[in-house]
Amino acid sequence: MKIKLTKNKILVAAIVLLVLTAAWVYDSECPGNNHGKAALPDQTPVGETGEKGLHQDTALPGRGPLSSPEGKSTTLPGEKPAPAPGENFAPSPGEKPTPAHRQDLQVDSEAPLTCRLSVSCETIFDNLDRFNKDKLEMLPEGGIIFPSQEVTFYNGESIFDVLQREMKKQEIHLEFTMVPLHNSYYVEGINNIYEFDCGELSGWMCKVNDSFLGYGCSNYLLKDGDTVAWIYTCDLGRDIGAAGPEGVGQ
């Protein structure tokens, strides 16, 4: 009788244990239940957005910040955008001349206009100790190569167009070269006086209405009444009132 009772107790205990085991297995497999599992911190599924997601506008290694839509770079409030190549204006008094592009210049030969033009190298007389001694005879009296005078140009012409025409008329030497990067001619020498003839900081600069150009002379579209002065500098423009070297050679 005692043995039979013991067997019944063992059977009941086994059944209870089986029920508890089944309940634990079912509970651990329910969706959203992490019993028995360690949670991963700040984990975001691949392909979804979020504070830690993969679709943030963050910098990629070796590529820098992501651009805004359509490939346009973003600018922070109060931050000046980077200048486009060839448009780095030289700081100087007065209103800054606005550049054009040679391919956009359409000359109207039936619309004559006038401007004033001058060419001088007066600064060399203050730096004769640095000037090329073999070219002393090239220096004109007072340093005036082309005295300020009214000349005719046509609507759509650039500073270079007028300089080239007037120097040819007066049989004054002019040497220049095309710079494809800036799509403009670079003036190397006038009246056989070249850049570097008066030191490594010397060369020709162009001023329009009291402002020095900061880009190629082929890219300034002349306006009626403009005053254009080509001036030789011996100190990257500092000796003639320019604030920097951006316009040398123009």
Look at residue 203 and tell me whether its pLDDT is greater than 60: yes
pLDDT of residue 109: 85
- Domain-embedded: residue 150: yes
Model pLDDT for residues 10-20, shown as the tens digit of each residue: 666 667 666 66
How many domains are contained in the chain? 1
| Cα–Cα nearest to 113, from 167, 148, 150, 147 | 150
- Domain-embedded: residue 126: yes
pLDDT of residue 6: 57
Range of the domain at 156: 102-240
**Paired strand residues for 175:** 189
Phi-psi category of residue 119: left, alpha or beta, with phi > 0 → left and psi -120 to 50 → alpha: beta
Question: Backbone phi, then psi, for 71, in 5-degree steps?
Answer: 75, 10
Q: How far, in Å, CA of 188 to CA of 32, rounded?
A: 78
Which pair of tokens denotes residue 70? 């359509």
- Domain-embedded: residue 139: yes
DSSP string, 52-116: T-TTS--PBTTTBSPP-GGGPPP--TTPPPPPPTT--PPP-SSPPPPB--GGG---EEEEEEEEE
pLDDT of residue 81: 37
In this prediction the pTM is: 0.59
Phi-psi category of residue 171: left, alpha or beta, with phi > 0 → left and psi -120 to 50 → alpha: left
User: 147: domain CATH number?
Assistant: 2.170.130.30
Q: How far, in Å, CA of 246 to CA of 205, rounded?
A: 9
Model pLDDT for residues 166-180, shown as the tens digit of each residue: 999 999 999 999 999
- Domain-embedded: residue 182: yes
- Domain-embedded: residue 189: yes
Using CA atoms, how far residue 27 sits from 13, 22, 24, 32, 120, in Å, is 21, 9, 5, 10, 96
The confidence band for 24, taking pLDDT boundaries of 50, 70 and 90, is low
